[in-house]
Amino acid sequence: MRTGTQTSWPELPTAVWHDTYATLHLFTQIVGKIRLSRTPWLNHSWHVALYVNARGLSTSSIPDGDGSFEIEFDFIDHVLHISKNDGATRQFALAGHSVASFHAQLLATLAEIGIRVAINEMPNELPDPIRFSRDTLHASYDAEAVRRFFQILTDADRVFKQFRTGFIGKASPVHFFWGSFDLAVTRFSGRRAPRHPGGVPHLSDAVAREAYSHEVSSAGFWPGSGAIDYPAFYSYAYPEPAGFRGTRVKPDAAFFSEALGEFILPYDAVRLSGDPDQALLDFLESTYEAAANAAKWDRDSLECAEGKPGVVREI
């Protein structure tokens, strides 16, 4: 499918905003853990995720007794906005905070409007974690870099949602996981998966095993870290079927990373292509097909034509 859309798809090398990226990652973990502390467990940890909206990232509605509240990262005005269903609102600037002061400010601001929360202060899925309340090391906020990051999330979110319409089996929402700091969408075959061995660094084995209780083909975007020190799209299958990693996928810039065990498409290959939306869709579709074909998914019963605005899906 060719969308014909032309979007900014801005440049954002990981090294350029490394310190801000690290700080913002921890800010999102604090907010995400507040949602985690109040929301009933939903399969595959879907209850903890954040969502891209028109201004940044939102928790969506969080239960609070017989009421609710929402926390939103506004990456246009660069504030954290808190709203409660009784009409109370508060906000404070994202810039100028260390992780420790952000943590203290957020809990104090919530308490002002009658919301008292307690969270596990240790970061997840990160090496050498520092308790939030003690972390004065991470204190960078480059507003322009964050604006560019938000534009990338907006572009990726749009294409991921289009891709999601071509599947009628179980599929995740398009959502942002603050543990790994990535935007993701996952398709399921409907079959149970072998018990996950655990051992994911800095992640509870129980969480990993629940997340991968069923066969998946999962794709996403993250700003880069470790073996892939640049922004990239990824796609993997669990369990990985025989022949998956040897499949030729689109576009030509995509490759299988032996270090990560997943297909990688550098963000810049999408950004600099003639049609970024189509380049990303090609990657999503071809890597999914590689997983589904290798694992012999029942594709006829799981797939459908991609959706179109205002057009009812034919049955």
By DSSP bridging, strand 175-177 and strand 89-93 are: unpaired
Return d(Cα 64, Cα 175) in angstroms, integer. 22
Number of domains present in the structure of the chain: 2
Residue 10's pLDDT is what?
97
Residue 77's pLDDT is what?
98
168 and 294 belong to one structural domain: yes
Residue 296's pLDDT is what?
98
Assign 4 a pLDDT band (cuts: 50, 70, 90): very low
Over the stretch 245-297, which tens digit does the pLDDT of each residue have?
999 999 999 999 999 999 999 999 999 999 999 999 999 999 999 999 999 99
Return d(Cα 219, Cα 253) in angstroms, integer. 16
203: which DSSP letter?
S
CB 217 within 8 A of CB 291: yes
The domain boundary residue, chosen from 116, 134, 152: 134
Provide CB contacts within 8 A for 82, sequence distance 6+.
69, 70, 71, 72, 89, 90, 91, 109, 110, 113
Assign 7 a pLDDT band (cuts: 50, 70, 90): low
The residue-averaged pLDDT of 81-96 equals 98
Burial of 18 (0-12, 13-18, 19+ CB in 10 A): middle
Domain that holds residue 286: 143-302
238 and 285 belong to one structural domain: yes
- What pTM does this model have? 0.96
Residue 201's pLDDT is what?
82
The residue-averaged pLDDT of 196-219 equals 95
Assign 200 a pLDDT band (cuts: 50, 70, 90): confident
277 and 152 belong to one structural domain: yes
